[in-house]
Structures are given as C-alpha cells and as structure tokens.
Chain A
C-alpha cells in the first residue's frame, strides 16, 4: 500500500524567502509523484510531476522538487516566495501514474506568506 506524509500542516515564510514543503512517501514499486496546489474554492492544479525521467523536476510558477529515493522524499521548493503562492499544497503518489489506481494524497500543507 502506498502512503504520503507531509510534514507540517502549516508553513509560514516571509515574502522573498525560500519555500520548502516536505513530502515523504512509501510505495512498493517505483512511484509516480505529484505536487498539486489548491486555491480557496477551487480544484487542484498540477505544479509538477516525477515520472522517473529526471530526479530534479521543474514545475510551474518557479517551483521545483527533487526525488530522493534513498530518503523516500519529494520535497517542494521555491527560491523566493510571492504573496500569490499562499495556498494549500498537496503531495500525491500513484503506482500507475494515471487514473486507474487513483492518487493517494498527503494531508496537505497550508502555505502562509508574510509581507
């Protein structure tokens, strides 16, 4: 069975500071990993995905994540936070990559940006 752990339900950073959101996963097979963002009253938007092509994945809005198999981690980073980054972020894992087995999500991390 696969699972995802996101450390920290709330993370607060100052505008312009580094954003680091942590995600650890467990999977019995090489996983597909995703980061999604959710703004209030909206659905989920894909930030980036890891599909075994490259361990450092670049996504939209300046976000990137590094897959570390030895640490079973897929942490999300952004060098400089912007006020518009304030949202809920979800890490997800899938063993098939597509919809067939569904995505298993972490509990989410609420990112707060201080002016």
Chain B
C-alpha cells in the first residue's frame, strides 16, 4: 500500500507570494491533517479535513487555508508569504475511527526568501 505522498518536496518562494502544497493520503483514509514544523515552534497543528470539510483548525492566521477533494486528496495554501513561514509542512492521513494512527508523509520543505 502506498504511503502518504506530498508534492513538491522542496519549494523556494519570495515574500509576498503565495504557495499551494499537495497531499495524497493512503488509499481508504478519509481524514487529512496538516502540521507545520519549525526549529523554534516545533510541530504545530494547522487543520484537519474529513469529507471535504474542515473539522478543526489550529492557531494560525487566515493566510493559511486548505481544502479537501472528493478523493480525499488535500491542498493547503499560504498567501502573502512571510519569512517566518519557512518550515517543513507535514501532511498526515488516518482512518475515521478515534484511536487510529496518523500516517505522516515526508513533508514539503518551504523556504521563503
């Protein structure tokens, strides 16, 4: 079974630009979560989608948004990029049941110059 895939793996943008990251969950997984990982703040929850609906959102500004498609694939978008948005963005997928493991993708490394 293929794991969680994220594209692109690396991305360089400049301040003020916007970026879209993509995540394909494991086949059959319907929940997709996004996390930001930085050296200073560590791993922080961005948002979670299930059945094309955002069920929960972390403490991030509105510049961070996402969506989920009918095939469970998800995208996240960051508008008006800031230097502090440089991070590893991780996507995780899981089944719906409450005690199921979240499977993480390799991440997208975003660098904002």
A: contact size bracket: 20 to 34
Tell me which residues across on chain A come within 8 A of B99, comparing CB atoms. 32, 49, 51, 97-98
Q: B45 an interface residue at 8 Å Cβ cutoff?
A: yes
Q: A103 an interface residue at 8 Å Cβ cutoff?
A: yes
From B31, B32, B45, B100, A103 is in contact (CB under 8 Å) with B45
B97 engages A98 (CB within 8 Å): yes
Q: A26 an interface residue at 8 Å Cβ cutoff?
A: no
Query: Can you list 19 A-B pairs with a CB-CB distance of less than 8 A?
Result: A43-B4, A43-B105, A45-B104, A46-B103, A49-B99, A96-B98, A97-B99, A98-B95, A98-B98, A99-B50, A99-B92, A100-B48, A100-B55, A101-B48, A102-B35, A103-B33, A103-B43, A106-B42, A108-B43
**Residues of chain B at the chain A interface (Cβ within 8 Å):** 4, 31-33, 35, 42-45, 48, 50, 55-56, 58, 90, 92-107
Task: Give Cα distance in the complex from A73 to B56, angstroms.
Answer: 27
Interface of A is mostly: loop
